[in-house]
A and B are shown apart, each in its own frame.
Chain A
Amino acid sequence: MIKVEQLTKVFNSVKAVDDISFEVKEGENLVLLGTSGCGKTTTLKMLNRLIEPTSGQIFINGKNIQQQPPEELRRGIGYVLQNNGLFPHYTVAENIAVVPQLLKWGKAKIDNRVNELMEKLHLPVGYLNKYPHQLSGGQQQRVGLARALVADPPVLLMDEPFGALDNVTRSKIHEEFKSLDELKRKTIILVTHDVQEAFELGDRICLMDKGKIIQEGTPAELLFNPVNDFVKEFLKHQRLQLELKLAPQLPKGGTPEANVWEGLEQLKFDGSKNSQAKFEQLMAAFYNYKKAQPHE
């Protein structure tokens, strides 16, 4: 679906993005992970031609994006900006309706779609006629997401969409995000510097540093098969939590989503007599999972 080949961007002799290549399959979530200034935003912006690359090529749906009019390209790609970029002179409803207006949808269709998204993103209907500055940072980000989703584009680019949230709210949103049907069918590239977020939301992760991709792979591959010390170091501090999250409660079958971390979290609130047994069960599952991983 998206193919990036030897992409490089040089800003006044600084290589912001340095010869990177990757591929994202249809319906897949790719996370660009890395510390501040490693070139994540620059990479993302080149995908919808907000920034033109110094060299390299990008194909979306097999078409070279350089060969399409940029406006047309962008209307087919949902983009969530790092600092939301809502129009301060538009109401929430008008902000969400920007792209449909550009695509000249009818009024009824726009209204329906806006209301549908408000509901799906848990934004109270009363906010429709409010202005962005009247919303909290998190609400603004939801509106930004709604704006990107409204025309149901097959590709979604998200630049730190949950940056403005505290940890509790963020993990709640992650849950909502994963269960949002709007997103299930989409090819998503999501930028974050938060390792937990990357592991929770990414099918695959590109770990970047100084404009280069250091390792590309599934969360498990990064965790158990790091290509070098940088990757190991990068994940070190949250390693146990990440491993617990990756380990399934049951070897195979059962509820596929449930992982050991979640099991442990539920256990805390349980407090009943069989919690001891349950705990041992989870630990055993974790042990088995770890044993099954190569090279560890």
Chain B
Amino acid sequence: MNEQQQSLWSFMAQQHDKLLTQTLQHIGLTFISLIIAVLVGLPLGIFISRRKKLSGTVLGVAGVLQTIPSIALLGFMIPLLGIGAKPAIVALLLYALLPIIRNTYMGITGVDASVKEAAVAMGMTKQQILLKVELPLAMPIILAGIRTATVINVGVATLASYIAAGGLGEFIFGGISLNNTNMILAGAIPAALLAIVFDFLLSRLQSLNLKKLKAATAALPVAVLLMASFYFIPSAYGGKLTAGFTPEFMGRQDGNLGLQSKYGLKIHTIVIGDAVMYKAAYEKELDVISGYSTDGRLKAYDLVVLQDNKRIFPPYYAAPIVREDALQHFPELENTLNMLSGKINDSVMTELNYRTDYLHQTPGRVAKDFLVAKNLWRPERNGHAGTVRIGSKIFGEQYILANMYSMLIKGYTDYEVATKTGLGGTKICFDALTNNQIDLYPEYTGTGLLAIIQPDKKTVDSLSVDKDKTYSYVKNVFTKYYHIKWLQPIGFNNAYALMMRKKQASQLNVKTISDLKRYLDSK
């Protein structure tokens, strides 16, 4: 039932042109930002070695920059620099800065004072001392800094795919979302190899003796420039409208593939992370995005869902899925979880999501307010009858649901609750469940069908339009193969949807996906 039992090798061979593009982009991104980081960091390091009083401040700021989580940093960049190459390079540059500044500073201040004094006594000018004595002697340490920065950059560059800057992250994150191990490995292995190879090459350079180092240091900029030139802005801009799709959406039958085959939609498309996609649409960096129909940001950023008039997006009704042995072990669990069944429809969920995603209320508060309003909330019983482990994927809606379940279990049973929220994507959550790391998490029928079961095309076609058929199909398969039970649906349908800015959609008179195609095809 897993149609992608193909080997990693054949996947790579099949996708070799994409793989090559992504690898080159990855190397390019790494080295463009590295060059700029050296151009900025080296003089800055030299400067603070002259004004030691400033060194604390400069190194402190560079250090703080490095502690900002990568995704957050990329997110900050969008309002300033938009999406694509620019913000990715700037973010990478900021991460690479600290090791370069710090090692330059350490290298130069570490030069033996009597050697420096000799240089002065010989009648060298400040500049001659820097170029002939300090920099050459500091070079091994500076190179070590550049080496660290390179390895950091290779790693962080995988995240560039979140903001449509390409790189091997497209495969990695696409693979995680699509539960496609081959795709993950096709991205992760080359990325790891790049890190190892660059680290090795630079370590060789570092261990060269001083004489050879002179020649090598001259050759280095050339090599780095060459590698930087590998980067070209992913699929050149242009076209009437630009679509930004998540890596997951790109690879799915009920995503971009379906858009192409069933609607014949041809739109200039870039790959972008979910976390920044809505904002990028709002900032007019993108015109069409792939979103979720209950996403709070739909409301926050004034977007509209285009009608799926050919019904390619299957229903995504949410329901808790639970390990069967957990249901036996916690007899009261099933009824408690089912208390939420039928209580939340699309617009309620969008509203709840809006409150967390846009108003930044905590999922816990949103969950409690809702339960109180529905008269479901009860104070904790503080029992000690075993611990139920609840998981959730890494977005707001899942956090809210996990919180609601936690409150219900604590209020209505004597079980304790451990929550493991923020488990990357479907694959991570599902693996955690099958490997007995968690007992339950909220899942969607469509995801269960297409990302986990992955049946053949015929089965999909026969099911995907009908929400009840889909539900009973996934319920049966999960029970049979995974010993996991789908409880009753919560009520809302968080399906894939194409979205546009409300204003633009009405200007262009686009209400359905077919309208969009008509507009794109018109000259």
Contacts and interface: CB of A to CB of B under 8 A. Distances in A.
| B contacts with A: majority SS | helix
B125 A71 contact: yes
Contact of A81 (B117, B124, B137, B210): B117
A252 interface: no
A275 B315 CA distance: 122
Interface in A63-98: 70-75, 79, 81-89, 98
Nearest to A131: B210
Interface centre among B117, B119, B137 (most CB of A within 10 A): B117
Interface string B425-457: 000000000000000000000000000000000
Contacts of B136: 89
A87 B114 contact: no
A119 B123 CA distance: 25
Interface residues of B, number: 17
A240 interface: no
B81 interface: no
Given A88-B137, A102-B128, A147 B117 contact: no
A10 interface: no
A87 B125 contact: no
Interface string B209-239: 0100000000000000000000000000000
B373 interface: no
Contacts of B115: 85-88
A91 to B, nearest CB: 8
Nearest to B139: A89
Nearest to B213: A89
A98 B114 contact: no
A99 interface: yes
A99 B122 contact: yes
A89 B120 CA distance: 16
A83 B113 CA distance: 11
A291 to B, nearest CB: 47
Contact of A86 (B118, B125, B137): B118
B1 interface: no
Nearest to A75: B123
A180 interface: no
Given A50-B117, A81-B117, A87-B115, A72 B137 contact: no
B510 interface: no
B130 interface: no
B114 A72 contact: no
A87 B118 contact: yes
Nearest to B128: A102
Interface string B93-130: 00000000000000000001011011111111100100
Contacts of A99: 122-123
A159 to B, nearest CB: 10
A154 to B, nearest CB: 14
B133 interface: yes
Interface in A101-155: 102, 131, 147
A50 B121 contact: yes
A74 B123 CA distance: 5
Contact of B118 (A73, A75, A81): A81
Contacts of A81: 114, 117-118, 121
Interface centre among B112, B114, B122, B128 (most CB of A within 10 A): B122
A187 interface: no
Interface centre among A72, A82, A88 (most CB of B within 10 A): A88
B206 to A, nearest CB: 14
A148 B118 CA distance: 10
A48 interface: yes
Interface in B186-224: 210
Contact of B123 (A84, A88, A102): A102
B124 A79 contact: no
A266 B447 CA distance: 105
Contact of B121 (A72, A79, A89): A79
Given A81-B114, A102-B128, A87 B133 contact: yes
Nearest to A76: B123
Interface centre among B114, B123, B124, B136 (most CB of A within 10 A): B123
Contacts of A73: 123
A82 B121 CA distance: 12
Contacts of A87: 115, 118-119, 133
Contacts of A71: 123-125
Contacts of B128: 102
A102 B119 CA distance: 11
Interface string B363-388: 00000000000000000000000000
Contacts of A72: 123
A84 B114 CA distance: 8
Nearest to A150: B122
A157 to B, nearest CB: 9
A48 B118 CA distance: 12
A44 to B, nearest CB: 10
A81 B114 CA distance: 8
Contact of B122 (A83, A98, A131): A98
Interface of A: 48, 50, 70-75, 79, 81-89, 98-99, 102, 131, 147
Given A71-B125, A87-B118, A102-B123, 5 more contacts: A81-B118, A85-B114, A88-B115, A89-B136, A102-B124
7 contacts: A71-B125, A73-B123, A75-B123, A79-B122, A85-B117, A85-B118, A88-B210
- Considering the complex of A and B, which 8 residue pairs feature the smallest CB-CB distances, nearest first? A85-B118, A75-B123, A74-B123, A79-B121, A85-B114, A89-B210, A71-B123, A89-B136
